[in-house]
Amino acid sequence: AKRFLVPKQMESNGLNAKQIQFIDEALLEIIRRYTRESGVRNLEREIANVCRKTAKRIVTAELKNSTITVEEVEKLLGRPKFRLQGISEENNQVGLTTGLAWTEIGGEVLQTEATLMEGKGQLTLTGKLGEVMQESARAAMSFVRSRAADFGIGREFHRKMDLHIHIPEGAIPKDGPSAGITMATTIVSALTKIPVRKDVAMTGEITLRGKVLPIGGVKEKLLAAHRAGIKNVILPKENEKDLQDLPQDILDVLNVNLVETMDEVIQIALERQPVP
């Protein structure tokens, strides 16, 4: 944007560096809240809109020059088209875990939440989850049931309580096995009433025995965590080789925890350890 798109659109709209300047925060605002794509076509279009409207204001003597700030972006482009994804929660909460997902336009931070109700052991899954993700939820539930005593959960909990797992942004389809450990952590938190740390995000597939298996899209997911201001990430041990794909300056500020079992995940993710 700074090296090519902005200079190109300034020239196209007859502007020079004295008449218009974009601060970095303004460009980030356009990128994050006015475009959602894998390329830069829409980004260039929105920068062109800003330049064109600024040129009109200069020609009509409304102003002599303009510094494009975040406030100016909203004034010129209108209300943001997209909600800024991936802001971590303000407080540790019970039954709410931060997961990392891969999408066609990059990584995203997804909140996974669970709530308990009196019932007969029904498991409800919502949030437009695909078949593989639904199977991951069932596997996570079976793992927790098999280890209930270790987590200090009554063995008969599944007979007396219904569990509802939801991943918000229900209009967006979601699938894949990498939410397995996120769902398992959410379930353990909901049943033990132990809050999940808000500064931890995770991704990994789970087996019935609690093993954590490798997943894809590591680079995109860790960049999403960094963008959200999350410092601690839980990643399968077998994905260690994928860290080579990330810029060193990102790795320097992220604390990547490589795990092999759900016991390690629980130890890192929860405020305190469940008591058997």
- Active-site pick, 174, 198, 219, 221: 221
What 3-state DSSP class applies to 154?
Answer: coil
Q: Is 160 among the catalytic positions? A: no
Strand intervals (E) in 48-158: 66-68, 96-103, 106-118, 123-126
Length of the chain: 276
Neighbours of 57 (CB within 10 A): 15
- Active-site pick, 66, 178, 189, 219: 178
CB 82 within 8 A of CB 32: yes
Q: Is 221 among the catalytic positions? A: yes
Distance (Å, whole) CA 183 – CA 166: 10
CB 144 within 8 A of CB 201: no
What token pair was written down for 244? 């080579």
Tell me the residue type at 216.
G
Catalytic machinery residues: 178, 221
